[in-house]
Amino acid sequence: MSIGYLQRKAAWEILLKVSAGDFSDHALEKVLRNYQFNPLDIAFITELSFGCIRYRKFLDLWTDHTSKITHKKQPPKLRWLLHIGLYQLLKMDKIPFPAAISSTVEVAKKTDLNGLAGTVNAILRNASRKLKQESLPELSSDRKERISYLESFPLWLVNDIYKWVGTNDAENIVKAFNKKPSIDLRINKLKTDLDQFLKLLYENKINAEPIKELNNGITLKSNPRSIKNLPGYSDGLWTIQDRSSQWVAPLLNPKEGEKILDACAAPGSKSTHLAELTNDSAEILAVDRSQRRLKILQSNLDRLSLKSVTIMKADATSLSELNPKFISYFDKILIDAPCSGIGTLSRNPDSRWSLSKEKIKCLTLLQEKLLDNIFPLLKKNGTLVYSTCTICPDENNLLIERFIKKNKVLKLDSQRQILPSLDFPGDGFYAAIISYKS
Ligand SMILES: C[S@@+](CC[C@H](N)C(=O)[O-])C[C@H]1O[C@@H](n2cnc3c(N)ncnc32)[C@H](O)[C@@H]1O
């Protein structure tokens, strides 16, 4: 058996699960349960499988360049196994070509692709020859189309990103979506502080540093075996939360004693942040319509020992009907809206393939309904923050500007779009601060 056959097989199984509709991280978790891999193996499998998922379009291009049968006509199991082989040849420069090819062919031999092992071998050898000869696939001269192949995104999404942010930023953003995302933590200031926690990490040989623009944020410099095994997790010393997401809760300027609604709250990164910022002494109502996600929120509250958050399972668009007392009740409201998540594409390798313009349209309708139905719950001198983790203007500034225009009693105090980029390791996020005109 050649070294690494099992790791390639596991990565291939992850691709099979994702193509059947699983999210990448769930698929990874499920597959790993069937094996006994060490942390290095897991890092390799994650890089290989997530890379193949991200670069699907690029790998299909190479399949068509090296195989007599185009990717569209290949049985899916073969297509995904070719991706496993091609990704190693094209994107993992530390793996010698013979090792990449033989271990991938071995997966075919030992599974129901046995009859196609020769085909896998021939295509991968052809690919390695073409790479050495620098014989690359032909691409259109249109820049956006080229990018859509080379960076591996649906063309509609590349076109839209160019339209939203302009040529210079678009290319940078698309490349940033293919980078490994940062791992950022938010320190629970009710239990520890930055210096103490960094010392604890240092003692456990984990490299980390504070995030400059945040009060309680740190970023990991070394890759942990498993995030939840980092010191202090079960003691509630920290929450995993991207730096851009950590920027949102403070925008409400939450204070002890205030009544705060977190209308789309689960799994609770921002509800728990609000509780920490208010010394666990505000009255926070965390609403979400997903029972499954609320369960995670509850376990986060328990782990962080936070008592000031009450959970409610409800459709946030009908809160005033469910409880008329809520009208003009809240000092602060956060609508962290369900969105296309385009700002977080680097964390979710599969989502670029499941997004569509139609889905975004449906989301904007829901976002508008949430705003329309929730803003009457705000006190006249209160503050509402609307946030998303997308960079799509229809879900962000265009929606908010229309909402403000429609509701003459309201004003937009400020808004900001954070764009992902190669120089900024955080997610893309948007937030608007809204209040009543005085
Ligand atoms: C962006 S996520 C929220 C993330 C959360 N604020 C955090 O920081 O952990 C959006 C949430 O909105 C919830 N949601 C979607 N439609 C809703 C509705 N009509 N009422 C309440 N919650 C809703 C989803 O279940 C999802 O948990």
Burial pattern 343-353, b for ≥16 Cβ within 10 A else e, equals bbbbbbbbbbb
| Protein residue closest via CA to atom 12 of ligand 1 | 264
Site to substitute for ligand 1 among 289, 306, 367, 373, most atoms within 8 A of C-beta: 289
191-226, pLDDT tens digit by residue? 999 999 999 999 999 999 999 989 999 999 977 767
| Protein residue closest via CA to atom 15 of ligand 1 | 338
For ligand 1, the distance from its centroid to the CA atom of residue 288, given in whole angstroms, is 6
User: 338 CB under 6 A from ligand 1?
Assistant: yes
Q: Tell me the chain's radius of gyration from C-alpha atoms.
A: 24
For ligand 1, the distance from its centroid to the CA atom of residue 266, given in whole angstroms, is 6
User: 272 CB under 6 A from ligand 1?
Assistant: no
What CATH number matches the domain at 184-240, 3.40.50.12160, 3.30.70.1170, 1.20.140.10, 3.30.70.1450?
A: 3.30.70.1170
169-189, pLDDT tens digit by residue? 999 999 999 998 999 999 999
CATH C-level class of 244-436 = alpha beta
Domain 5-132: assigned CATH number: 1.10.940.10
User: 181 CB under 6 A from ligand 1?
Assistant: no
| Protein residue closest via CA to atom 27 of ligand 1 | 266
237-295, pLDDT tens digit by residue? 999 999 999 999 999 999 999 999 999 999 999 999 999 999 999 999 999 999 999 99
Cis-peptide into 338, omega within 30 deg: no
For ligand 1, the distance from its centroid to the CA atom of residue 267, given in whole angstroms, is 8
Of the candidates 335, 337, 334, which has an alpha carbon nearest to the alpha carbon of residue 395? 337
pLDDT value for 428: 97
Does residue 2 surpass a pLDDT of 50? no
User: 388 CB under 6 A from ligand 1?
Assistant: no
User: 284 CB under 6 A from ligand 1?
Assistant: no
For ligand 1, the distance from its centroid to the CA atom of residue 337, given in whole angstroms, is 6
48-94, pLDDT tens digit by residue? 999 999 999 999 999 999 999 999 999 999 999 999 999 999 999 99
Does residue 371 surpass a pLDDT of 60? yes
Does residue 1 surpass a pLDDT of 50? no
Q: Which residues does the annotation mark as catalytic?
A: 389
Does residue 228 surpass a pLDDT of 90? no
For ligand 1, the distance from its centroid to the CA atom of residue 296, given in whole angstroms, is 13
**The residue to which tokens 């499954």 are assigned:** 292
Tell whether pTM > 0.75.
Answer: yes
Strand runs (DSSP E) across 75-221, as ranges?
184-187, 208-210, 217-220
Domain assignments of the chain as residue spans, ordered by start: 5-132, 143-176, 184-240, 244-436
Q: Fill in the amino acid letter for 161.
A: I
Residue range 24-50: mean pLDDT, rounded: 94
Q: Write the DSSP symbol of residue 338.
A: -
User: 267 CB under 6 A from ligand 1?
Assistant: yes
- Beta bridge partners of residue 219, listed in sequence order: 184, 209
